[in-house]
Amino acid sequence: MQLSREDLLKAYRDMRTIREFEDRVHDEFAKGGIPGFVHLYAGEEASGVGVCMNLDDRDKIASTHRGHGHCIAKGCDPKGMMKEIYGKRDGLCGGKGGSMHIADLSRGMMGANGIVGGGPPLVCGAALTAKTLKTGGVAVAFVGDGGSNQGTTLESFNLARVWDLPVVFVVEDNGYAESTASAWSVGGSQKKRAEAFGMPGTEVDGHDFFAVYDAARQAVEFARSGDGPSLIHVKLDRHYGHFEGDAMTYRADGEVDRLRQERDALQIFRTKVSEAKLLEIDQLDEIDAEVKELIDQAVAEAETAPPPTEADLLTDVYVSY
């Protein structure tokens, strides 16, 4: 572990921000304030934050339809994100993208993606740019267990290997592709798939920030030093359904309550850092209060922000036409 106090505080703040953001979106969606489709990342915080803590401004990520957590972890503004989810004019994408398309290229965030498996080829391209222009950057593709079965993902494993690209593939396996168990839908193992393509693969407990952080640090260093791609299989859980409104009839009785009590990434982090006397619980509680205030403000501002205008319908299709 090479994390400073500041790093630990930032990691916790980012994870708490994601949790608070997602819990609030869940509540507000249920009240009817948010249009469209929303897929929440609550429960998976240690993965996005554990990976992105190893990245800097040179680095790019591509996300999935479950992208809010990756956005926050890569430095996107939560207020701009909330406005985007509400479909407002000064949302991060002008209200034209919504939850499934939040992006901020200035932060190296190449977009949530409504197409499962849409990201890995794009990440190969971002890594090719880094390699060609010698920026020293790496690119990270987050995919779910569902996305890991797409041809785009498997083709990207091969392309990243044969082009020797600085890519990290992060397979976030929350146990379900929509409602279908990953235990049923994934043939073989993610680690062995990686190895079959000539890349190192590791498997980590995605409830443990430190485990993800360490695995990602090695993978990012491997990519940055020119050794090529690798894969991290992160096993974790989601606290909500595939989408908001999902009745989750496919999950066992009490499953979600149990994992919230026994495998909560934030609780595990709090216990670890306090027992190791790295941080005080009071400090963490203080962050909780600050984050709650931030998200309260984000929701309040999003609710009252103006929507796009009729003129906005026709702009941003082309640079010139």
Partner 1 sequence: MSKKSFRQAINEALAQEMRRDPTVIVMGEDNAGGMGAPGEDDAWGGVLGVTKGLMPEFGRERVLDTPISESAFIGAAVGAAATGLRPVAELMFVDFMGVCFDQIFNQAGKFKYMFGGKAVTPLVVRTMFGAGFRAASQHSQCLYPIFTHIPGLKVVIPSSPYEAKGLMIQAIRDDDPVIFLEHKVLYDDEEEVPDEPYTIPFGEANLTREGSDVTIVAFGRMVPFSNQVADKLEKEGISCTVVDPRTTSPLDTDTILECVADTGRLVVVDEASPRCNMATDISALVAQEAFGALKAPIKMVTPPHTPVPFAPQLEDLYIPTPEKIEAAVRAVAGA
Which residues of the shown chain bind partner 1 in the complex (CB under 8 A)?
Answer: 60, 62, 91-97, 101, 103-106, 110-111, 113-115, 118, 120-126, 128-130, 132-133, 139, 151-152, 155-156, 158-159, 162-163, 315-321
Q: Smallest gap, in angstroms, from Cβ of residue 45 to partner 1?
A: 24
Q: Which is nearer to partner 1, 122 or 211 (CB)?
A: 122
Beta partners for 205?
Answer: 235
Find the helix or strand (DSSP H, E) in which 234 lies: strand 230-235
Q: Which is nearer to partner 1, 122 or 259 (CB)?
A: 122
Count Cβ atoms within 10 A of the Cβ of residue 149 and give its class: 0-12 exposed, 13-18 middle, 19 or more buried. Answer: middle
Q: Smallest gap, in angstroms, from Cβ of residue 152 to partner 1?
A: 5
Find all residues with CB under 8 Å of 154, minimum gap 6, and list them.
193
Q: Smallest gap, in angstroms, from Cβ of residue 313 to partner 1?
A: 10
Q: Smallest gap, in angstroms, from Cβ of residue 39 to partner 1?
A: 16
CA-CA distance, 43 to 237, in Å (whole number)? 6
Q: Which is nearer to partner 1, 2 or 309 (CB)?
A: 309
Q: Which is nearer to partner 1, 50 or 146 (CB)?
A: 146
Q: Which is nearer to partner 1, 41 or 157 (CB)?
A: 157
Q: Smallest gap, in angstroms, from Cβ of residue 80 to partner 1?
A: 10
Find all residues with CB under 8 Å of 234, minimum gap 6, and list them.
47, 170, 171, 172, 173, 204, 206, 212
Q: Which is nearer to partner 1, 158 or 218 (CB)?
A: 158
Q: Smallest gap, in angstroms, from Cβ of residue 110 to partner 1?
A: 6
CA-CA distance, 99 to 33, in Å (whole number)? 13
Which residue intervals of the chain are DSSP H helices?
A: 5-31, 45-52, 68-73, 78-85, 119-133, 151-162, 182-185, 190-196, 209-224, 255-262, 265-275, 281-304
Backbone angles phi, psi at 216, to 5 degrees: -70, -35
